[in-house]
């Protein structure tokens, strides 16, 4: 009889996450300390995934919503080792729902009349906004990985551990994303 994997495939646990399976099992059984440890380890990656999809001011709310859903549905995780990929899926889904709700509320922004070179940004905040606009034009996988690295401060190996991607894939996403981003930043007045 063939065997069917009940959840997404997941790479072997990496150094530093040998106890992840037991943590998930304990949290699933209701251990508050285990859930707290999962929150500590994964809140950053959830927040980064949210940043890739919603306004920065909404990322904290989305992160909280994700962990509410995780707490409610953790029992549905059949394979504890697949927890990183699972929580990332939940985060993307919650963030996408939030983004859709916001789009329905906000009127469409007027289209720019021309694409003249923007003036030199007056402040870091303005430059940050331009960077975020450029990031929004990247493919989702590249944008998400770059924000995990640059905004959340996660190194490549940790991004791999927390998302279920292989380290090579993380490196590729970062390199290709950055290669696409550099010319966009020049367009946005990045000197």
Partner 1 sequence: MSNPGDYLYDGSGPTDPDVARLERLLRPLGRSGDEPVPVFAPPPRWGWRLALGGFLTVAAAAFFAHVGTVDAPPVVDAPRVLDEPVPPKAPPPPTGPRIRDASAGPDLAHGAWIETADADREILVGDVGRVRLAAHSRLQVRHVADDETRFYLARGALEARVSADARPRFFQIDTDAARCVDLGCRYTLEVGADGAATVRVLTGQVAFETPTREVFVPTGASCVARKGRGPGTPRFDDVPASVAAAFDAFDASDTTDAPRRRALALAALDAVHANRDTLPAWHLLQESDASVVRATAAKLASIAGPCDVDPRATAAELRAAWKAFLESRCW
Backbone angles phi, psi at 138, to 5 degrees: -80, 155
| Residues 66-105: x where in contact with partner 1 by CB under 8 A, - otherwise, as a string | -xx--xx-xxx-xx-----x---x--x-------------
Least Å distance between CB 108 and partner 1? 25
Backbone angles phi, psi at 23, to 5 degrees: -65, -45
Least Å distance between CB 115 and partner 1? 22
3-state secondary structure of 137: coil
Residues 182, 128: Cα–Cα separation, whole Å: 14
Window of 13-21, 97-105, 106-114, 155-163 that interacts with partner 1 by CB under 8 A: 155-163
Residues 74, 90: Cα–Cα separation, whole Å: 11
Least Å distance between CB 147 and partner 1? 7
Sequence-ordered alpha helix ranges (H) in 1-139: 20-28, 32-51, 59-73, 83-105, 124-136
What does the binding site for partner 1 look like in residue numbers (CB under 8 A)? 1-9, 30, 32, 35-36, 39-40, 43-44, 47-48, 51, 56, 59-60, 63-64, 67-68, 71-72, 74-76, 78-79, 85, 89, 92, 124, 127-128, 131, 139, 141, 147, 149-153, 155-157, 165-166, 168-171, 174-175, 178, 182, 185, 190
């Amino acid at each position: 009889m063939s065997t069917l994997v009940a959840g997404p495939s997941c790479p072997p646990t990496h150094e530093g996450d040998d106890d992840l399976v037991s943590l998930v099992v304990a949290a699933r059984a209701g251990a508050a300390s285990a859930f707290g440890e999962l929150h500590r380890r994964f809140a950053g990656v959830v927040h980064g995934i949210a940043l890739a999809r919603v306004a920065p001011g909404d990322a904290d709310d989305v992160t909280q919503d994700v962990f509410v859903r995780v707490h409610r549905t953790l029992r549905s995780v059949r394979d504890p080792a697949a927890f990183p990929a699972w929580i990332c899926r939940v985060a993307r889904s919650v963030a996408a729902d939030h983004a859709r709700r916001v789009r329905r509320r906000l009127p469409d922004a007027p289209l720019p009349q021309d694409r003249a070179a923007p003036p030199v940004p007056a402040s870091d905040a303005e430059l940050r906004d331009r960077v975020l606009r450029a990031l929004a034009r990247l493919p989702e996988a590249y944008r998400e990985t770059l924000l995990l690295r640059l905004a959340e401060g996660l190194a490549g190996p940790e991004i791999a551990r927390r998302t279920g991607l292989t380290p090579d894939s993380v490196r590729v996403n970062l390199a290709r994303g950055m290669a696409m981003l550099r010319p966009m930043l020049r367009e946005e007045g990045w000197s």
